[in-house]
Structure formats: structure tokens, C-alpha cells
């Protein structure tokens, strides 16, 4: 059996950096260590950190009650309000926000001050998007497609700035802004989709189009993994979304000639290697 593992599969720069910061803090930090939300969308990594004593803060109210220890901000980033709360309460802050996400925060803050209405293209329930929105103002909006944008009822001639969630599907973003460009707005479009995301999606599509079975590995709550699954499913009918090797049904890869493997940005390399070895054996 031929097994093709995507070169871009696994931890991206931002996720690797965030995870490393937590382990570094475990070695050098004092007092209780917290992450605001799971450090990444991978249950295996989060469980390992919890076993080592890292506590996960799940809500804003819980964060507000915190008066000591160290809080690590995950790669998804947070809104300005979170920084203000931590500083006010004298809590030590370790900022593991992905630099690419930080760049969007700066853009949104600057464009709002310049008088443009910021439109974020992405999933409003995702923590990255919530963090980005937290650097905007009361007019900042989130949309996923053209119909959601049209529902906003923005007047023609309005000054708009479009940014994207770093893991949004590039082709969908491109299609959306091309359609909006045909309307009468004063528009600035900034493609803030991470290059690693674009490369990962393009490679996944290519591999899925040439194999009998495609495996997409990642956490159930990982936005970028879900998008990889959607892309691969269009190219390969036998595409399976798994979180660990235990989710893989051996019958799904039995008697096939080729298997492709890709993984989301929060998937550790050892899980990818386990899947590769299982397919080859």
C-alpha cells in the first residue's frame, strides 16, 4: 500500500510556539499556571498539560476572579479586554498569541480608528475570531458568506475593511470579496489567511484527489482541521476525520492501493506517525 503523508501536516509555527511556551513555563514558572481556554484544540496535548498541573480557565468570570499565578494566552489570541483584566488584577501574563493573529489585531484596531467598518470573514464562535473582534468597535461584524454580509444592510459608499480568520478557506474568502467588490463600497481587503493554512489546504486537496482513502487527523473542535476535512471530502469520497489512531476503523483502509494523510495545525507529530505506521502495516 502506498501511504502519502502531507509535508504540511501537523503543528504550525504558531501552535508549536504556544505549546513550547507552556512547557517552558512549567520548568521556570512559580505558582499555579493557567491557560485561558485550552492552549490548542487537541485533547491529547491538553490532557498531558493538565497532568503536569496546568489548569484551564474556561470563562471570563473565572478569569476575573483570578488574583495570582500565571496566565498563558493561547495562539488564538484574545481581545483587548482580557489584557486589561489581567493587568488590573496583577496576574502574570505570558502571551503565546500567534504573531500572524497579532497582526490582525493591530489592523483591526488601526482601521477602526481610521473610520472604516471592519468585517471579519470567519466563524464568529471561534476563539480566534472572538479575539480579533475584541480589538474592533461596536460596528465590527463577522460574516461567513455573501448572504450574511448582505443581511448586515450596509449602505452603499460605506468605508469597509475586510480581514479573514487565519484558518478560513482561501477560495471561499477570495470568492466572497470578489462578489463584494462588484458592489458600491469603498473597500480595503487584507488577506490575513496564514500562508501555512493556504499551503496545507492546497496540499491536502492535491493528495486527496489521487488516493483511494484520505485520513484527516485533528481535534474535534479544530476549525482548520474541519476545513481540511471539507476540502478533502470533495476530492475523495472515502475521507475520514479521526482524532487519534483509536478512531480509525481498520476496515476503512483494508485492501486499498493508496492512503493519504494530512493533519490540522494542532496535531502532534507522533499521532501522524502512528497513523502512517498503521496504514503501512
Angle, helices 99-113 vs 13-28, to 10°: value is: 110
Residues 4, 209 contacting (CB under 8 angstroms): no
State whether residue 198 is helix, strand or coil: helix
Q: What is the dihedral angle through the alpha carbons of 81, 96, 218, 162, rounded to the nearest 10 degrees?
A: 50
- Tell me the backbone φ, ψ of residue 182, rounded to 5 degrees: -75, -10
Closest CA to 198 of 224, 177, 162: 224
Q: How many CB atoms lie within 10 A of CB 83?
A: 14
Among residues 128, 138, 150, 199, which one is catalytic? Answer: 128
- Nearby residues of 5 by Cβ (< 8 Å), 6 or more positions away: 260, 261, 262, 272, 276
- Nearby residues of 75 by Cβ (< 8 Å), 6 or more positions away: 14, 15, 17, 18, 39, 40, 96, 97, 98, 101
Helix (H) or strand (E) holding 118, with range, is strand 117-121
Query: Cα separation of 69 and 91, whole Å?
Result: 6
Q: How many CB atoms lie within 10 A of CB 163?
A: 27
The full length of the chain comes to: 281
* 128 annotated active-site: yes
Catalytic sites, residue numbers: 128
Amino acid at each position: 500500500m502506498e501511504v502519502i503523508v502531507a509535508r504540511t501536516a501537523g503543528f504550525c509555527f504558531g501552535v508549536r510556539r504556544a505549546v513550547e511556551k507552556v512547557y517552558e513555563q512549567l520548568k521556570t514558572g512559580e505558582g499555579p499556571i493557567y491557560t485561558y481556554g485550552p492552549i490548542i484544540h487537541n485533547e491529547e496535548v491538553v490532557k498531558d498539560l493538565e497532568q503536569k498541573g496546568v489548569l484551564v480557565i474556561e470563562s471570563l468570570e473565572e478569569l476575573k476572579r483570578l488574583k495570582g499565578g500565571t496566565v498563558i494566552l493561547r495562539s488564538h489570541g484574545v481581545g483587548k479586554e482580557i489584557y486589561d483584566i489581567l493587568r488590573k488584577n496583577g496576574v502574570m501574563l505570558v502571551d503565546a498569541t500567534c504573531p500572524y493573529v497579532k497582526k490582525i489585531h493591530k489592523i483591526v484596531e488601526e482601521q477602526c480608528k481610521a473610520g472604516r467598518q471592519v468585517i471579519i470573514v470567519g466563524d464568529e464562535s471561534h476563539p480566534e475570531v472572538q479575539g480579533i473582534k475584541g480589538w474592533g468597535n461596536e460596528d465590527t461584524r463577522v460574516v461567513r458568506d455573501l448572504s450574511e454580509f448582505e443581511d448586515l444592510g450596509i449602505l452603499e459608499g460605506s468605508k469597509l475593511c475586510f480581514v479573514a480568520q487565519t484558518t478560513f478557506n482561501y477560495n471561499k474568502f477570495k470568492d466572497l470579496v470578489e462578489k463584494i467588490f462588484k458592489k458600491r463600497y469603498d473597500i480595503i481587503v487584507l488577506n490575513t489567511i496564514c500562508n501555512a493554512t493556504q499551503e496545507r489546504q492546497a496540499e491536502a486537496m492535491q493528495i486527496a484527489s489521487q488516493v483511494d482513502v484520505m485520513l484527516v487527523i485533528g481535534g474535534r473542535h479544530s476549525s482548520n482541521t474541519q476545513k481540511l476535512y471539507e476540502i478533502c471530502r470533495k476530492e475523495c469520497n472515502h475521507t475520514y476525520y479521526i482524532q487519534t489512531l483509536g478512531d480509525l476503523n481498520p476496515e476503512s483502509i483494508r485492501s486499498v492501493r493508496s492512503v493519504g494523510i494530512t493533519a490540522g495545525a494542532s496535531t502532534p507529530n507522533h499521532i501522524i506517525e502512528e497513523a502512517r505506521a498503521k496504514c503501512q502495516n
